[in-house]
Structures are given as C-alpha cells and as structure tokens.
Amino acid sequence: MTTPPDRKFERIGGTVIHDGRIVHLVEDRFRFADGKEVSREIIRTSGSVGILVHDGTHLLLTRQPREAIGQPDSLEIPAGRLDKPGEPPIDCGRRELTEEIGFSAAGWQPILTFQPSVGILDETCHLFCAWDLSEEWADSGEDERIEIVRWPVDDLDGALERVSDGKTVIALLWAKANGLPGLPG
C-alpha cells in the first residue's frame, strides 16, 4: 500500500511542555508535502508490556485501583512499563510477572504489538501469553495495591464483560479467537 503524497509529512520542530518521570508532553510541528504546517500535542512514553497469564485452569488477572479513571478495582492482565533503557519487551514481561503476581513462566508466546491511542500517544504495547508457572516473588519497590484474581479459562466471555482496560480486552479477545497456548489437548 502506497501512502498518497498529500499525507506524507516531516517533523520540523517541537517544544517540551512537560518532562515527567513517566510521560513527556511535547508540542511538535509537522509539514506536509503540500507545504501546510500543523502543530500536535503528543504524549511520549517508554512503552509497555502486558501478559495474559494462565495456570492451565485459570487466568491470573490483577485487580487494582486506577486513579486516572476513578476506578478502585480495575480488572487487568499483569502489565508494566518498559522503563529500563534497552530492555527487550520479553524481559520486561518476565520482570513484571514476578513483581506483580509472584510467578515466573517457562512458556512464553508473543501475542501482538499495538499502539493504544495513535492520535495523542506514541506508546507501543507488547502483549505476551505466559504459562507453565512457578512461584517467584520480586519486589518492585513501588506502592502497588494489587490483588491476584483467578478467573476460569473457560469463562473468557465473563472476563470480557468485567474488563474495561484496552490491553486486557485485546488479550482476552485474542485468547477467545486463538485459544490459550500451553493447554492440554
């Protein structure tokens, strides 16, 4: 597929509006091939991972407060930020799994990589499925209020009815369409 000439653009400059610990807000300027210039506010992040975890009979989800949306009990797959420079997404996923739910996994499969909100955010999220679990706790050093929720693998529809988090919806729909790797049969 070829991009029509009137949609091609180049970044011609920008200004940092906020340089935070997790997000950076910039106002970037772009010039299209026809000469028109536009300004866009963009949130820049380091990216993220999400892990659809199962033990053969249950998904291991997290329930935690999400202050940004005013929700005290968001049901989600374990996830985290790519906050160590150069760390491959799979290694970040392994680290997050031990920090958030206290397990390591022998089985790993990439699910997909996507951009959650391309109009304002440069984030790339890498989704994985993990199974064949062993207990292994690591302290994240963060004040996380996470409860582990065991959800039957044969009730993906029920989980989908309870979840509003985008990466979790994508992971559950993927599992519904493709099945969960590592299950007998």
Distance of CA 38 to the CA centre of its chain: 29
pLDDT tens readout for residues 132-185: 999 988 776 667 789 999 999 999 999 999 999 999 999 999 999 999 988 875
Indicate the domain borders of the chain: 5-44, 48-113+124-178
CATH 2.40.50.100 is the classification of domain 48-113+124-178: no
pTM: 0.91
- Contact between residue 52 and residue 129 where contact means Cβ atoms under 8 Å apart: yes
pLDDT for 93 beyond 80: yes
Q: Which amino acid is at 19?
A: D
pLDDT for 68 beyond 60: yes
Distance of CA 64 to the CA centre of its chain: 15
Instruction: Write the Ramachandran bin of 8: left for phi over 0, alpha for psi from -120 to 50, otherwise beta.
Output: beta
pLDDT for 95 beyond 90: yes
